[in-house]
């Protein structure tokens, strides 16, 4: 299974500022995703990070608020822009790999716990 | 549209007793089904998955799950619970036709095992 390193593990930020979260994988992976887990809630997909092209965003999430980069097959960043207290959540990076034409499980980083004050 | 329901926010069991965490799903076509566990201040850890084949799937830490197509369920079970099993459990589904690795999660069930 892929080993995923996510940085920072936690941060406390002032409203109106931005935070960039990094996700590094120890092997090349086909798919990378960013999820949000709000307090007491389930995981919601923010976007699929596409290597060499613009990310694909889910309904309710926009590039201006959550710009994503994926310069290669092992690294991606998610920026939370112009933060407000409502952005306080855990942000998780996830990777998936195709095997013999079948879907497989997704692996997750440890998450970034963001608190906006 | 794909969706997952975990009808119980909390499940409490005594150590040594069997446990069940319930999950039902809705998906177009045949589903891929997963269980993940989240310990405090940790990411999600994969427990087990159903892709095809045997309806009873065995996973990590002694957990197993039974796929029931007629009831569209995928309940997580363990014959004898441990205090260390206390955590947040998520059921997830993926549509074979969808983007690889893109998962739809249930809201989670907090499992508490008391000594």
- Which pLDDT value is given to residue A31? 82
Q: What is the pLDDT of residues A67-81, one digit of tens each?
A: 999 999 999 999 999
Interface contact flag, A106 B101, Cβ < 8 Å: yes
- Which pLDDT value is given to residue B99? 54
DSSP string, A11-51: EEE-TT--EEEEEEESS--SEEEEEEE-TT--EEEEEEEPT
Mean pLDDT (chain A) is 90
CB of B107 less than 8 A from some CB of A? yes
Between A49-63, A96-110, B75-89, the lowest mean confidence (pLDDT) is in A96-110
What single-letter DSSP state applies at residue B70?
Answer: T
Residues of A in contact with B105 (CB under 8 A): 42-44
| C-alpha R_g of chain A | 14
Report the alpha-carbon distance of residue B29 to residue B99 in Å, rounded.
Answer: 14
CB of B32 less than 8 A from some CB of A? yes
Q: CB within 8 A of B69, min separation 6: which ones?
A: B55
CB of A109 less than 8 A from some CB of B? yes
- Which pLDDT value is given to residue A100? 45
Report the alpha-carbon distance of residue A111 to residue A9 in Å, rounded.
Answer: 6
Burial of A53 (0-12, 13-18, 19+ CB in 10 A): exposed
Q: What is the pLDDT of residues B17-58, one digit of tens each?
A: 999 999 999 988 788 899 999 998 778 898 999 988 889 999
- Which pLDDT value is given to residue B69? 92
Q: What is the arithmetic mean of pLDDT over B93-97? A: 72
User: How far is the CA of A11 from the CAs of A80, A86, B103, in angstroms?
Assistant: 12, 15, 26
Neighbouring CB atoms inside 10 A of B55's CB total 11
Token representation of residue B86: 């206390």
């Amino acid at each position: 299974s892929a080993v995923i390193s996510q940085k920072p593990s936690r941060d406390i930020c002032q409203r109106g500022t931005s935070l960039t979260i990094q996700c590094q994988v120890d092997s090349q992976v086909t798919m990378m995703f960013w999820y949000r887990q709000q307090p007491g809630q389930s995981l919601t997909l923010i976007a699929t990070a596409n290597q060499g092209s613009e990310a694909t965003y889910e309904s309710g999430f926009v590039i201006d608020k959550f710009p994503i980069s994926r310069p290669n097959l092992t690294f991606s960043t998610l920026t939370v822009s112009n933060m407000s207290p409502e952005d306080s959540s855990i942000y998780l990076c996830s990777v998936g790999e195709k095997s013999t034409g079948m879907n497989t499980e997704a692996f997750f980083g440890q998450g970034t716990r963001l608190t906006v004050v | 549209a794909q969706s997952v329901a975990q009808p119980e926010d909390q499940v409490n069991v005594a150590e040594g007793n069997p446990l069940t965490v319930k999950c039902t799903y809705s998906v177009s076509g045949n589903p891929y089904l997963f269980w993940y566990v989240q310990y405090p201040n940790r990411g999600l850890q994969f427990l087990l998955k159903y892709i095809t084949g045997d309806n009873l799937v065995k996973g990590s830490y002694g957990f197993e799950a039974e796929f029931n197509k007629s009831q569209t369920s995928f309940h997580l079970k363990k014959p004898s619970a441990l205090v260390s099993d206390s955590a947040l459990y998520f059921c997830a589904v993926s549509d074979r036709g969808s983007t690889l690795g893109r998962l739809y999660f249930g809201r989670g069930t907090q499992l508490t095992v008391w000594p």
